[in-house]
């Protein structure tokens, strides 16, 4: 018996929502970043599910690209967060307040 596609889409929507809430309520830059990664992976899941639903490969191709992009984002993002940490000794977005706003 095949699992209905809708289940995957619901799971993906839930994961994306959890990631979104995580970004909005977390104060630690690393945790915010992890929530963003969760969002991206949620999107990958729905891409694969849609790809199955339409029987076309486009979605899977896009999922491949999004994985590589996510890895590139990890590298750049962590480099930035590490340099902030080395400068201020904290990665809380509340402590980083040299700029107003």
Residue with Cβ nearer another protein (1 or 35): 35
The distance of Cα 35 from the centroid of its chain, to the nearest Å, equals 6
Counting Cβ atoms within 10 Å, is residue 20 exposed (0-12), middle (13-18) or buried (19+)? middle
Q: How far is the CB of 3 from another protein (least distance, A)?
A: 15
Q: How far is the CB of 37 from another protein (least distance, A)?
A: 9
Nearest to 32 by CA among 87, 98, 81, 67: 81
Q: How far is the CB of 47 from another protein (least distance, A)?
A: 5
Residue with Cβ nearer another protein (3 or 89): 89
Q: Helix crossing, 5-25 with 29-54: angle to 10°?
A: 160
Residues of the shown chain interacting with another protein in the complex, contacts defined by CB under 8 A: 6, 9-10, 13-14, 16-21, 23, 25, 29, 32-33, 36, 39-40, 42-43, 46-47, 50-51, 53-54, 56, 58-59, 61-62, 64-69, 71-89, 93, 96, 98-101
Q: How far is the CB of 2 from another protein (least distance, A)?
A: 16
DSSP 8-state secondary structure symbol assigned to residue 26? -
- d(CA 50, CA 58) in angstroms, rounded, equals 9
């Amino acid at each position: 018996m095949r699992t209905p596609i809708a289940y995957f889409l619901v799971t993906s929507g839930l994961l994306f929502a959890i990631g979104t809430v995580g970004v909005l309520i977390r104060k630690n830059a690393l945790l915010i970043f992890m929530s963003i990664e969760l969002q991206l992976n949620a999107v990958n899941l729905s891409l694969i599910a849609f790809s199955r639903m339409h029987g076309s490969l486009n979605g899977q191709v896009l999922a491949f690209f999004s994985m590589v992009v996510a890895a590139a984002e990890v590298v750049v993002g962590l480099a930035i967060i590490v340099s902030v940490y080395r400068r201020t000794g904290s990665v809380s977005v509340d402590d980083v307040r040299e700029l107003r706003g």
